[in-house]
Chains A and B, each alone.
Chain A
Amino acid sequence: MTGFLALLSRDLRLVWRRPGDITVVLAFFVVATVLFPLGIGPQTNILARIAAGVLWCTALFASMLSLDRLFAADHEDGSLDLLLLAPWPLELAALAKCAAHWIVTGLPLAVLAPLLGVTFGLPPDALIALAATLLVGTPTLSLIGGLAAALTLGARRGGALLALLALPLCVPTLIFGAAAIETLMTGEDLWAHIAILAALALVALATTPWAMAAALRQAGE
């Protein structure tokens, strides 16, 4: 546990030292999302209808942006060898890296999304639902993205390959995340969707650390 917390706090500190990296990601999220109301025009009924899908897609792209550095930076400066040689499970190390990624990407995205939802004319209860679904859904994106980052480590054009690998795997989360907002309009149960998002996150939590560790060991060879 000491090692897990040490790695988590080290990665958070590294982000803190270079706030530009994460600011770019959040700025991309804001700019890409705001382009939709500008492009479509002030037809609030259409905007409110597509808001959830647009916000979820742009959140997905934004969280992919920062992922290619997740393990690559450690690979380049030799720190990955130290993680591979730490006397505790590499699975936990992979999990700590994903947790750090979620704290600096998924969490701010979930906080920003309701503010952007206002530009789409979403009603207040939909804004809360949007934040809640992103909060539960983005850990899955960090975990799946982390797996893709570990698999593409050392590959040329790793970034594009990473997105190609991760985006299809994120489709279930995207579908249930975006559909959850619609339930407010159709009167379905919002909690059912959130429960499914949580289940997807737990499946990712239970499977990806092992796959990430295997991929990282392979990259170390």
Chain B
Amino acid sequence: MAPPFLDVAELACRRGGRPVFDRLSFALGAGELLALTGRNGSGKTTLLRALALLVRPEAGAILWQGANVQDDPESWRGRLAWLGHLDGLKGDLTARENLLGAERLRGRPAADDRLDLALIAFDLHALVHRPVRTLSAGQRRRTALARVMLTQAPLWLLDEPLTALDATAQQAFRTVLQQHLAHGGLAIAATHADLGVPGARTVELSAPQKALP
């Protein structure tokens, strides 16, 4: 199998009639991390959602190993791990149920040993049987990050992954992210803070442009 390779060509997106970004191109290979920076409203989340095909781009193409991902959206979705600015957890279910449920929703059962690894990585063992609504914002974020880790997807799309994390949890996230990259994974993260991963590339999205008359 060819090594994973993401190629974004001339991507353009509009939100509410206003261009968010235009002719955006970048490429990302195995083991690379791309940090999306830019001011509030510069289109970081829109770009992540466009890459996940949640938002239809106005123009341009997203190529995975040379094939346009829009031709086969289902297998593209199977290659993605998503962390939005919302955690995507069910408050009435326990952290464990959320993690196992999310894996089953991806169409495959979660092996216990992989679950254990994710729980250890984010220090979740003590709270795994508590309903998520009783957890703090940082604990919920850690659970959501454990969900990302469980997917074993080659491309991680992360929107502000460090939100609400304390220093220990940030370090845990860095370790997991570096492991993912070391195994040939790719990651794109929208962030304001420094992710602290050496060798990360950066794309800075400019401030929103005025709509053309």
Q: Interface of A with B (CB < 8 Å)? A: 2-3, 5-7, 10, 13-14, 17-18, 76-79, 81-89, 220-221
Contacts and interface: CB of A to CB of B under 8 A. Distances in A.
A209 to B, nearest CB: 16
Interface string B27-45: 0000000000000000000
B93 A87 contact: no
B19 interface: no
> Main SS of chain B's interface residues?
loop
Contact of B90 (A3, A79, A89, A220): A79
25 contacts: A2-B107, A2-B109, A3-B106, A6-B101, A6-B105, A7-B105, A10-B93, A10-B101, A17-B93, A77-B86, A77-B87, A77-B88, A77-B89, A77-B90, A79-B88, A79-B90, A81-B82, A82-B102, A83-B105, A85-B54, A85-B77, A87-B78, A87-B107, A220-B55, A221-B49
A84 B101 CA distance: 15
A211 B102 CA distance: 24
B22 interface: no
A84 to B, nearest CB: 6
A85 B91 contact: no
A85 B52 contact: yes
Nearest to B52: A85
Contacts of A89: 74
Contacts of A76: 86
Contact of A77 (B91, B105, B106, B108): B91
A18 B65 CA distance: 46
Given A78-B86, A85-B82, A220-B49, 7 more contacts: A3-B107, A14-B93, A78-B85, A79-B90, A81-B88, A82-B88, A85-B52
Contact of A87 (B49, B74, B87, B101): B74
A72 to B, nearest CB: 13
B15 to A, nearest CB: 9
Interface of B: 49, 52, 54-56, 74-75, 77-78, 80, 82, 84-93, 97, 101-102, 104-109, 131
A81 to B, nearest CB: 5
A2 B75 CA distance: 16
Contact of A81 (B54, B90, B108): B54
A78 B88 contact: yes
Nearest to A89: B74
B154 to A, nearest CB: 13
Contacts of A2: 104, 107-109
Nearest to B147: A82
Nearest to B79: A87
The 10 closest A-B pairs by CB, nearest first: A78-B86, A87-B78, A6-B104, A78-B88, A17-B92, A87-B77, A3-B107, A82-B88, A10-B101, A2-B107
Given A78-B86, A85-B52, A87-B77, A13 B97 contact: yes
B74 A88 contact: yes
B107 A84 contact: no
A177 to B, nearest CB: 33
